[in-house]
Amino acid sequence: MNEDVVIEVRDLKKVFGENVVINGISLTVKKGETVVLIGPSGCGKSTLLRCLNGLEPIQGGSVLLHGEPVEYGKRSLYRIRQKIGMVFQDYGLFPHMTVLDNIMLAPVKVQKRSKQEVTEEAMSLLERVGLGDKAKSYPSQLSGGQQQRAAIVRSLIVHPDIMLLDEITAALDPEMVHEVLNVVLDLAKNGSTMIIVTHEMAFAEAAADRVILMDGGIIVEENPPEKFFRDPDTERARKFLSTFSYSR
C-alpha cells in the first residue's frame, strides 16, 4: 500500500430511502493534498464528507483511512475520528464552554495530553488565526467569522491526518468570508491534507491541488484547478462554472 495515501474511497454508495445520493464514487487523497469538491446544491457533497468520518452508514463500497476501514457504528471510530478533523457550516462550538475550553476538550479528555502543553498550543493556534484575545470568550460573544476560525482551531489541535471542511463560509456575512478563507488557504499552502466543499470559486482555484465536480451521485470531472477552471473536459463542468460567471 502506498504510504502517501491518507484516505481512499472505493465505489461508495449512499442511499436515503429511495434517494440514491452517492452512486459509486472512488477517490484517493494523498498526504499534503488539498482537494476542492464542488457541485450543485443537493448533489451529495455534505453526505460524502459525512460518510468519510463515519457519521452516516453506507450501503456499498468502503472508506479507508491509512488502509483502515471507517465503519459507521464501530468502536474503532472513536480512535479513527481523531485522525479526521471536520468543520461544519454552522460552526458547532459548544455554547456552554469558552473558546479555549472548546479547543482543549478533545486533546485533554480524549487524547489525555497534558493541560499545559495543550494550552500553549491552543494559544499559539488562536494567535495564528487572529483570535489571541478571544480565548476566554463564549461562542455567543463572537462573530460568525470568529466562531468559524475557532472551530478550525478546535479541529486542528487534535492533529488530524485530514481535514474535511463543509461549506464553512456559507453561513457567514460576506465581509467575514475572507478572514476564514485566508486561514484555510494558509493551511493548504503549508501542507495540510484537506477536502474542502465550497461555492467560492476564486478560493477554490487558489487553494486546490485538484478540483472534483460532483453531480447525480457521481464524480463528473476531476482535474487540476488550472485545467478545470480554464478548459474543463466536460460540458457539465462548463455549465456549472457558467452559473457563477455573473459574479466575476
Footprint of ligand ADP (CB under 6 A): 16, 19, 21, 39, 41-47
Task: Between 69 and 224, name the residue whose CB sits nearer to another protein.
Answer: 69
Q: What gap in Å lies between CA 141 and CA 71, rounded to an integer?
A: 37
Grid cell, residue 148, equals 468559524
Q: Give the sheet arrangement for strand 5-16, strand by strand.
A: 19-30, 5-16, 60-65, 68-69
Where do contacts with another protein occur on this chain (CB under 8 A)? 53, 55, 77-79, 81-82, 84-86, 88, 90, 92-96, 105-106, 109-111, 140, 151, 154-155, 158
Tally of helices (H runs) and strands (E runs) in the chain: 9, 10
Q: Does 198 bind Mg ion (CB under 5 A)?
A: no
Q: What gap in Å lies between CA 25 and CA 34, rounded to an integer?
A: 18
Q: What gap in Å lies between CA 89 and CA 168, rounded to an integer?
A: 4
Burial class (CB in 10 A: 0-12, 13-18, 19+), 227: middle
**Rounded to whole angstroms, what are the CA distances from 40 to 163, 165, 187, 203, 244?**
22, 17, 26, 17, 11
Picking from 131, 153, 156, the residue whose alpha carbon sits closest to that of residue 142 is 131
Task: Between 198 and 223, name the residue whose CB sits nearer to ligand ADP.
Answer: 198
Q: What gap in Å lies between CA 224 and CA 205, rounded to an integer?
A: 9
Give the nearest distance from C-beta 58 to ligand ADP in angstroms: 13
- As a whole number of angstroms, the longest Cα–Cα distance in the chain is 55
Task: Between 138 and 244, name the residue whose CB sits nearer to ligand ADP.
Answer: 244
Range in contact with Mg ion (rule: CB under 5 A) among 44-52, 100-108, 172-180, 224-232: 44-52
Give the nearest distance from C-beta 81 to another protein in angstroms: 4
Grid cell, residue 192, equals 495540510
- List the single partner that 168 binds among ligand ADP, another protein, Mg ion, none, CB under 5 to 8 Å by kind: none
Q: Residues 59, 14: contact at Cβ < 8 Å?
A: yes
Task: Between 64 and 171, name the residue whose CB sits nearer to another protein.
Answer: 171
- List the single partner that 81 binds among Mg ion, another protein, ligand ADP, none, CB under 5 to 8 Å by kind: another protein
Give the nearest distance from C-beta 157 to another protein in angstroms: 10
- List the single partner that 21 binds among another protein, ligand ADP, Mg ion, none, CB under 5 to 8 Å by kind: ligand ADP
Give kind and range of the element (H or E) at residue 37.
Answer: strand 34-38
- List the single partner that 79 binds among Mg ion, ligand ADP, another protein, none, CB under 5 to 8 Å by kind: another protein
Task: Between 129 and 164, name the residue whose CB sits nearer to Mg ion.
Answer: 164
- List the single partner that 155 binds among Mg ion, ligand ADP, another protein, none, CB under 5 to 8 Å by kind: another protein
Give the nearest distance from C-beta 106 to another protein in angstroms: 4
Give the nearest distance from C-beta 110 to Mg ion in angstroms: 27
